[in-house]
Structure formats: C-alpha cells, structure tokens
Amino acid sequence: MSNAIDIDQVRHIGVLSRIELDDDQARDLAGQLGAIVEYFGKLNELDTDGVEPMAHAVGTHNVLAEDAPLASLSPDEALANAPARDGDFFMVPKVIGDS
C-alpha cells in the first residue's frame, strides 16, 4: 500500500493551513506526512471482528463534585483584602465616561 504524500499535496495542505513553506520544508514534510499515513495504514492489518466501536479507549465518568449549596463568606470576609470599599461593595476606579 503506497500512501506517499507528494510535495503538491503538502503545498495544498500548507495553503489550507495558511502556512508558507519553502521547497526544503515541503520536501521534509512530504516524507514525514507519508510516514505518518503509512503508520496509520498498519491499523488496517488488525483483526477488528467482534470489536465494538467506541468513542473513548477508556471509560469516562463525571469527576465533578455534586452541586450543593455551602456556607459563603460574609461581606466583611470577602472584602477583607479589598484596597477600597463602599459599604458591602468593592470600590474601583472609574473606567467609562468622563474622567
């Protein structure tokens, strides 16, 4: 099975990827991409009869904690390190409008 990638295909991929390639780069990439395609071609040699298709090689599960309400910080605790505050709010410099 010949999956050789020629320089014209590499240049086309470069155009689609918006990557400028000189002649040496295109030649090197042609060899590298050809080797990758050939390596993946070896998968066709595997006997996959009776193997169920899957989306992931390992089982997946939710690793997030349950969304349960917990006690929150008081306004004084939340604003303890604020450089400036106005009551229970952070005070920040004005960034919109007249200076």
Count of structural domains within the chain: 1
Q: What distance in Å separates the CA atoms of residue 41 and residue 13, rounded to the nearest whole number?
A: 20
Tens-place pLDDT, residues 31-68: 999 999 999 888 888 898 988 888 888 888 888 888 89
- The CATH number covering residue 17 comes to 1.10.20
Q: What domain range is 19 assigned to?
A: 7-45
CB–CB of 28/5 below 8 Å?
Answer: no
SS3 21: coil
Task: Transcribe 29-94 into DSSP letters.
Answer: HHHHHHHHHHHHHGGGGS--TTPPP-S-SS-----SPP--------HHHHTTT-SSEETTEE----
pLDDT at 1: 43
pLDDT at 7: 93
Share of the chain above pLDDT 70, in %: 96
Residue 62 lies in a domain: no
Residue 22 lies in a domain: yes
Residue 33 lies in a domain: yes
